[in-house]
Structure 1
Amino acid sequence: MLERRLRKDRTEVTFVLPGEEPPGPVSVVGDFNDWQPGVHTLKRRKDGKRAVTVELPRDSSHAFRYLAAGDYWFNDESAGDREGVNSRLHT
């Protein structure tokens, strides 16, 4: 699930996943972090879900996926758009 918060010159996008699915650490990787695992690792929130917030330029578009333990790549179905095998996010 994606949560967006508009700021004056940027959009804060929070990537949210359930607390236990998939198990183990999960990173969001995309063109905004040069597809580097571990740069944006989801952390547990008080509500039990895992999340990480990334600041992105307003009115931009980005490809991304999640990477879980065991080299398990998956998409965010709430993103709505796809670009090949990647989810696509519009800010």
Structure 2
Amino acid sequence: MSIAKQYLKTKPVCKVTFTVPAEDAKKVAVVGDFNDWNPKGSTLKKLKNGTFKGTFDLPKESSYEFRYLIDGNYVNEAEADRYQWNDFAGSENAVLEV
């Protein structure tokens, strides 16, 4: 898994690309505070090599809690900027700082 950040000079956004190697998965989405934890519209595209990938524009100078939703199971990003405990989920969420 990986996260790539590209800051735009012309807009106050950061293009964030999420890459998840999950050859056996049928569906992978990124859910978090930036999309109200809703997988609709945040599904990653499966590439021929079995990796799922997607890019989202997120406002700069913010932090976002998120997780991957892989075939209905929540998974954290190993390369997250940090982790935040979430009482509702009873586990840690990955945090992205942009």
Common fold: TM-score over 0.5: yes
| CA distance in 2 between partners of 1:62 and 1:74 (Å) | 15
Distance 1:75 1:6 in 2: 23
Q: How many residues align?
A: 89
Cα RMSD, aligned residues only:
1.6
How far did 1:38 drift? 2.6
* TM superposition outliers: structure 1 runs of 4+ over 6 Å: none
Alignment of 1:1-91 (within 5 A): 1-8=2-9, 9-20=12-23, 23-45=25-47, 48-69=50-71, 71-84=72-85, 85-91=92-98
Equivalent residues of 2:81, 2:97 under 8 A apart = no
In 1, Cα distance between equivalents of 2:30 and 2:45? 11
Partner SS for 2:34:
helix
TM-score (norm 2): 0.82
User: Which of the two has higher C-alpha Rg?
Assistant: 2
- Matches of 2:8 and 2:47, distance apart in 1: 22
TM-score (norm 1): 0.87
Report the alpha carbon displacement of residue 44 of structure 1 after superposing the two structures with TM: 2.4
Q: Which runs of 5+ in 2 are unaligned?
A: 86-91
Structure 1, residues 5-39: CA drift from partner, whole Å, max 9, x if none? 11021100011011415x11010000000000132
Runs of at least 5 residues in structure 1 that lack an aligned partner in the other structure: none
Partner amino acid, structure 2, of 1:3: A
Counterpart code for 2:84: E
